[in-house]
Amino acid sequence: LKKEIRLLLRILIINPEFIAKCPPGCQDVKYHVYGTDIYASFSSVCSAAIHSGIIDNTGGKILVQKVASHSGYRGSFSNGVRSLSLPRWRESFLVAGNVGKHQVHSQAAQRTFSVFVCLTSDCKVDLSFLIDGSWSIGKRRFQIQKQFLSNVVEALDVGSAGPLMGIIQYGNNPSTEFNLKTYTNSKDIRNAIEKIPQKGGLSNVGRALSFVNKNFFLDANGNRGGAPNVVVVMVDGWPTDKVEEASRLARESGINIFFVTIEGAAENEKQNVIETDFVDKAVCRTNGFYSINVPSWFSLHKAVQPLVKRVCDTNRLVCSKTCLNSADIGFVIDGSSSVGTDNFRTVLQFVANISKEFEISDTDTRIGAVQYTYEQRLEFGFDKYSSKQDVLSAIKRISYWSGGTSTGAAISYASEQLFNKSKPNKRKIMIVITDGRSYDDVRVPAMTAHQNGVIAYSIGIAWAAQDELEAIATDPDKEHSFFVDEFDNLYQFVNQLIQNICTEFNSQPRN
């Protein structure tokens, strides 16, 4: 089975055309798809097939054909899958169904491959291995660790179109052995690994994670921006410092942390462990995917294939930054008298429908809300709720205020009370919803917000003034401001707004 998985990864990279047998469940939002009809090659092939209507969520056989790079992958919502936009990518594929004998002529497509996960078609990741150089590991096991790394590197098939990797050795302090751009093939990396001397010292993993977050994934060190950032931490026993805080910051920067722990604490050693459950406190998600526990150094070789398969399963690297998991979104909601109780409910439903589309947690997207009339009220800040369920209930509980309409003051208030508390590595997105002309000036507050890095969207309903909507919106206005004549038609803009947020996100380097 392991062999088969590796083979499949290679086939996906090399073959211009092949048949994939998709498992059920690829409709899941965690499997990202970029494009419509033509998909960027790091999309999940099976989710793309669902998006095109070729199969449904129960899975099935599809024909995948590689095609040339493309500019302007257009996102859309279709068959329950939301695909994202992307300005350009180096390779694309098409999917076709009806995979009977008559449809398939080419030799390459004669073979069928079972896809165990809703795989992407290549392993383009920026990888950092944190290796344990502490004295406690000993000479012999340090050698086993190097052999393991060497095997991983061989299985990965490092290259500038695929995975790149660097190594950091930690002891008391971490140091970079080589970074992402030092070597571009497996052979050179294996030679370099051979020459790494053990540095000794303690096992300060937390310090090493901070170092990685601050220094390793810099553009100057070869970070490619469009490839997921992955850190694999090798730990003999347990760390000698705390990892929780450093890991949280790394996750917020979009780094996917994996742990490989070897010979963990025995029952009678547990009282020596500084931070209990350090693995769960550090890894990207505590679902088992991001941690491998090996009982003995002498069975470490068995972890090579599972680890390679996981770090290459780019659709499951959920800590990578995406348009859905990396923003602080602040809603600025008009509660003036002209809205009315019923329409106010509709507005809240709109706010909830937008929020629902995001991945919400304290390290992913966070939501905040301000209601305004002539005055302003903080309904809840970004740090108040850390689950989607809690956010949706809080939105439902917002009570209608009723009063005047000072949109300018509301934007200033949101800047200070919401966005001043946004985290530096989050995208600040403000969504202003109003149904009328403001009593005060919106231009200066909006401009100040834009200058502070807030991306502003305006949603105008009924009597809202076009010139104000445009002043509030970030440029280009066409993509950041919306107008709808009736509250009952608000729902039509949910998809468009998400789409625009994602398009804008995808036009930037991702990490």
Ligand X SMILES: *[C@@H]1O[C@H](CO)[C@@H](O)[C@H](O)[C@H]1NC(C)=O
Q: Which residues in this chain contact ligand X in the complex, by CB under 6 A?
A: 346, 349-350, 353, 416, 420, 490-491, 494
Q: Which of 206, 171, 229, 366 is nearest to 282 (CA)?
A: 206
Nearer to ligand X, 39 or 487 (CB): 487
Choice between 153 and 395, CB closer to ligand X: 395
Per residue, the 3-state secondary structure of 402-454, as one string, reads CCCCCHHHHHHHHHHHCHHHCCCCCEEEEEEEECCCCCCCCHHHHHHHHHCCE
Comparing CB distances to ligand X, the nearer of 407 and 415 is: 415
Task: Find the shortest distance in angstroms from Cβ 60 to ligand X.
Answer: 27
Q: Minimal distance in Å, beta carbon 458 to ligand X?
A: 16
Nearer to ligand X among residue 5 and residue 501 (C-beta): 501
Grouping H, G, I as helix, E, B as strand and the rest as coil, residue 474 is coil
Q: Cα 489 to chain center, whole Å?
A: 31
Name the strand (E) or helix (H) holding 164. strand 164-170
Q: Give one DSSP letter per residue of 203-268, joined into a string.
A: --HHHHHHHIIIIIT-GGGT--SSSPEEEEEEEES--SS--HHHHHHHHHTTEEEEEEEES---GG
Structure tokens at 368: 């905040």
Of the two residues 325 and 495, which places its CB atom closer to ligand X in the complex? 495
Q: Report the C-alpha gap between 107 and 284 in whole angstroms.
A: 41
When the beta carbons of 279 and 454 are compared against ligand X, the nearer one is: 454
Q: Least distance from C-beta 489 to ligand X, angstroms?
A: 9
- Output the smallest distance, CB 433 to ligand X, in A: 11
CB 351, min distance to ligand X, A: 9
SS3 state at 201:
coil
CA distance 402 to 420: 26
Nearer to ligand X, 463 or 491 (CB): 491
User: Which one, 361 or 495, has the nearer CB to ligand X?
Assistant: 495
Query: Do you find a cis peptide bond into 197, omega within 30 degrees of 0?
Result: no
CA nearest to 323, candidates 285, 364, 380: 364
Who's near 442: CB < 8 A, 6+ residues apart? 407, 408, 411, 468, 471, 472
What is the nearest approach in angstroms of ligand X to the Cβ of residue 496?
A: 11
Bridge partner list, 20:
62, 113
CA distance 195 to 150: 12
Q: Kindly state the smallest distance separating residue 439's Cβ from ligand X, in Å.
A: 23
Please identify, using beta-carbon distances, which residue of 447 and 494 lies nearer to ligand X: 494
Please report how close the Cβ of residue 398 comes to ligand X at its closest, in angstroms: 14
Rounded to the nearest whole angstrom, what is the least distance from the CB of residue 219 to ligand X in the complex? 27
| Min CB(347)–ligand X separation in Å | 7
Please say which residue, 204 or 355, places its beta carbon nearer to ligand X.
355
Q: How far apart, in whole angstroms, are the C-alpha atoms of residue 504 and residue 511?
A: 14
- Strand 38-40 and strand 92-96: the pairing is antiparallel
User: Token pair for residue 29?
Assistant: 């939002």
Helix, strand, coil content of the chain in percent (nearest 5): 35, 25, 40
Residue 487 C-beta: closest distance to ligand X, Å: 8
Positive or negative torsion for Cα 449, 451, 457, 460: positive
Sign of the dihedral through C-alpha 177, 182, 186, 189: negative
Q: CA 390, 391, 393: angle at the middle one, nearest 5?
A: 65
Q: Give whichever of 156 and 490 is closer to ligand X, judged by the CB atom.
A: 490
Strand (E) or helix (H) holding 153: helix 138-156
CB of 52 to ligand X, least distance (A): 23
- Specify the residue, 164 or 430, whose C-beta has the smaller distance to ligand X: 430
- Cβ-proximal residue to ligand X, closest one: 491
- Between 50 and 461, name the residue whose CB sits nearer to ligand X: 461
CB of 493 to ligand X, least distance (A): 8
